[in-house]
Chains A and B, each alone.
Chain A
Amino acid sequence: MTTLIVILWLVCSVFVIFEKKIVRMILWLFLSSIIASIIYLLLGSPDLAMAEATASAFVTIIFVIGFEKFFNLRDMKKYLKDEKEIEKENKFKRYILPAIISIGILVLFINFAIPVEQNDYLKNLILDRFTIDIGGENAVTAIYLGYRVYDTIFEALLLVIAVVAVVHMSNFDITKVNDGKHSELETSGMALFLVRIVAPITIIFGVYLIANGFLSAGGGFQGGLAIACFFVCRFFIYDIYDLPIKKINRLEDFIFIIIVAMAALTIFAGLIQQVPYRFMTLAQEIYLFVMNALIGIKVALGFIILFYRYVAIERN
């Protein structure tokens, strides 16, 4: 079965290269990365499958926005919200009902609280195979440098892309940047309704992925992308980009420094070995959770900068 899907993947990749029309190319790219995610799942790496699935959707969105800005083909009727009626609903509908629904969905996501559901799938998989796949004797090093190396590499790549995109592309002579104006993307009422349903689920799901990253599949990168997708939905709903980009950029650099400092202090300096043996697992879990949360926030901020810069740039 795996070989059949690999053949499908090859066919899709060949079509990505040899397709000449841009729309079809984007479609084939989306399809090939979805099939790649299934292959990663079947080969026994659910984390990478999640990362691929989230990244493929976000890359498609950025492609679409970028091509739309490049060709500047928006001469259809403008959809401007003149009658933006802010309905004053009562407090129950605005706050209490969403809180109840989100708590219910969060309870559905938690799987470490129920002892029956615990199984040793990931643990046995990694513990059995890391000596064969990567070598060495330390499982944590094997995970960080072998199974989770995409996390580190893509982190560095993301920093480079974000800085280059923000500094270089928004300072062209051809382009101008307008902040705080309404966009001109055409939307229909049904799509707005659907995105309003989807948006809160994405942010709950992102928080779940980050908080549960060291216990099951998931982690900082996937959760950060989910949170960034929430801000994409927010742009889609309100049609306005009013986030302070420069402050977000500064915050992202600051969080990157914190990540490096924390890794240096705890892992390289060996501070985590100084902890007494009773609190060892607790300290390790706290370290993993904080690192996952920092990576998730950094990834979310970086992708928010990318998306909002792409949206805000316009041609003269």
Chain B
Amino acid sequence: MNYFLWILVVLILLVIFRVIKGPTIWDRVLAFNLISHKFIIFIVIFASIESTTFLLDLAIIYALFGFLGEIFLIMFLADRVRGGKEE
């Protein structure tokens, strides 16, 4: 099971390159979305290795609060970005 955690960390590292590289701001937000969902899977597999139930609360926190922060970030971007250019 530890190999899965390693593969997930390497995938997160590959997606972070897209956050650095991405030509528009929307690519960065998309890559951030992918990273947060990979972290949810990371925590679930980690809790499955340790076989503890309360570590799953952290995954629920990521699913709920990451979503809320992302929604507010997107709302902010809708005002701030015009025609695909960052101001």
Q: Measuring CB to CB, which residues of chain A are less than 8 angstroms from any residue of chain B?
A: 1, 4-5, 8, 11-12, 15, 21, 23-24, 26-28, 30-31, 34, 37-38, 41-42, 46, 49-50, 53-54, 56-58, 60-61, 64-65, 67-68, 71, 73-74, 76, 109, 111, 117, 119, 121, 185-187, 191, 194-195, 198, 201-202, 205, 209, 216-218, 222, 226, 229, 232-233, 236
Bound together, the chains give a CA A76 to CA B78 distance in angstroms of 9
How many angstroms between the C-alpha atoms of A232 and B64 in the bound complex?
13
B side interface size, CB within 8 A: 46
Give the docked Cα–Cα distance between A207 and B61 (Å).
13
Across-interface contacts of A74 in B (CB, < 8 A): 79
Within 8 A of A (CB), among B37-84: 39, 42-43, 46, 50-55, 57-58, 60-62, 64-69, 71-73, 75-81
Report the bound CA distance from A24 to B23 in whole Å.
12
Interface hits, B1-50 → A, CB 8 Å:
5-6, 9, 12-13, 16, 19-20, 25, 28-29, 32, 35-36, 39, 42-43, 46, 50
| Interface SS of B by simple majority | helix
Give 9 new A-B contacts, CB below 8 A, not counting A23-B86, A34-B62, A205-B61. Answer: A21-B86, A27-B29, A28-B19, A31-B19, A31-B35, A34-B66, A64-B76, A185-B75, A218-B54
- Say yes or no: A1 contacts B39, CB within 8 Å: no
Please name all residues of chain B whose beta carbon is closer than 8 Å to the beta carbon of A41 when the two chains form the complex: 43, 46, 55, 58
Least Cβ–Cβ distance between B76 and chain A, in angstroms:
4
14 contacts between A and B (CB under 8 A): A24-B25, A26-B76, A27-B28, A30-B32, A31-B16, A34-B66, A41-B58, A61-B69, A64-B75, A111-B53, A117-B53, A186-B75, A191-B75, A205-B57
CB proximity of B27 to chain A, nearest CB, Å: 11
Q: Are B57 and A198 in contact (CB under 8 A)?
A: no
Assess A64 versus B43: contact at CB under 8 Å? Given A23-B25, A205-B64, A218-B57: no
Q: Which residue of A lies closest to B75 (CB)?
A: A185
Contact of A198 among B12, B55, B68 (CB under 8 A): B68
Complex Cα spacing A233 to B5, Å: 33
Contact status of A1 and B5, CB under 8 A, knowing A34-B39, A46-B55, A217-B57 = yes
* B43 adjacent to A4 (CB under 8 Å): no
For residue A216, which residue of chain B has the nearest CB? B54
Q: Is the CB of A57 within 8 A of B6?
A: no
Please determine whether A49 and B58 come into contact, CB atoms closer than 8 angstroms: yes
**Closest A residue, CB atoms, query B50:** A121
